[in-house]
């Protein structure tokens, strides 16, 4: 196995933390965006969207989309479980993982893409969309604070992929200036808890 990686990408980070939690070390090839390799037919045959991360298996077949890669790894390397151990637990972890992705990480990524000068000329930027995304993410932090009351982790009694996605979202939020407030004590305690894990540096 080999991972086509992009160190700054929140989605690639999700996979790297997942691998670290599984105790897996696999070769990583950092794709240099300035080389344009991700636009070549060779790379597009690995991922038609030309994005990272991509997991390449020994037989040359590839899996893209961070969550699909994590699911494959979970099946092949089930210990420690990061996606649940019963049908209901798996469903709740998927539910929370999606909430953290769709309601927190993606709005924050959109705030970045539509607002940051590095994307000028690369993506169609709509500056008026930035505050809408920021408000969306702030509102999500609001109900996340409520949901975390009395809980150590987001989706289950144990650390799971939903925590990983939320961690990557909070990091993205720091880049665009949307952070948990000081009085969001549950989120702040959770953040201290998850970032104390060695995998947080992956």
The residues that touch a copy of itself, with contacts defined as CB under 8 A, are 48-49, 57, 61, 63-65, 67-69, 71-72, 75-76, 87-88, 90-92, 94-95, 98-99, 102-103, 106, 124, 126, 128-129, 132, 135, 143, 146-147
Give the β-pairing of 2-5 and 28-30.
parallel
State in angstroms the smallest separation of the CB of 98 from a copy of itself: 5
State in angstroms the smallest separation of the CB of 42 from a copy of itself: 16
Total residue count of the chain as it appears in this document: 202
State in angstroms the smallest separation of the CB of 124 from a copy of itself: 5
State in angstroms the smallest separation of the CB of 117 from a copy of itself: 18
Among the listed residues 98, 118, 116, the one whose alpha carbon sits nearest the alpha carbon of residue 166: 98
Among the listed residues 28, 17, 20, 21, the one whose alpha carbon sits nearest the alpha carbon of residue 54: 28
For residue 202, how many other CB atoms are within 10 A of its CB?
A: 16
Measured from the CB atom, the residue of 35 and 61 that comes closer to a copy of itself is 61
DSSP string, 73-129: HHHHS-SS-SS-SSHHHHHHHHHHHHHHIIIIIHHHHHHHHHH-GGGBTTB---TTH
Measured from the CB atom, the residue of 23 and 131 that comes closer to a copy of itself is 131
Measured from the CB atom, the residue of 139 and 196 that comes closer to a copy of itself is 139
Measured from the CB atom, the residue of 24 and 95 that comes closer to a copy of itself is 95
Q: How far apart are CA 81 and CA 94, in angstroms?
A: 13
Measured from the CB atom, the residue of 5 and 74 that comes closer to a copy of itself is 74
């Amino acid at each position: 196995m080999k991972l086509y990686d992009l160190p700054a990408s929140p989605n690639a980070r999700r996979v790297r933390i997942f691998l670290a939690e599984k105790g897996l070390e696999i070769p990583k090839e950092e794709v240099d965006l300035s080389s344009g390799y991700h636009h070549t037919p060779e790379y597009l045959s690995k991922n038609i969207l030309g994005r990272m991360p991509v997991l390449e298996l020994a037989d040359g077949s590839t899996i893209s989309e961070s969550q699909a890669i994590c699911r494959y790894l979970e099946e092949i390397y089930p210990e420690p479980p990061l996606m649940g151990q019963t049908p209901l637990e798996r469903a709740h972890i998927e539910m929370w993982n999606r909430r953290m992705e769709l309601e927190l990480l993606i709005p924050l990524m959109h705030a970045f893409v539509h607002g940051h000068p590095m994307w000028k000329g690369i993506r169609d930027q709509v500056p008026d969309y930035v505050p809408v995304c920021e408000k969306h993410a702030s509102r999500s932090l609001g109900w996340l604070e409520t949901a975390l009351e009395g809980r150590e982790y987001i989706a289950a009694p144990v650390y799971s992929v939903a925590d990983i996605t939320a961690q990557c979202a909070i990091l993205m939020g720091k880049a665009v200036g949307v952070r948990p407030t000081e009085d969001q004590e549950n989120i702040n305690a959770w953040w201290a808890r998850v970032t104390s894990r060695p995998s947080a540096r992956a």
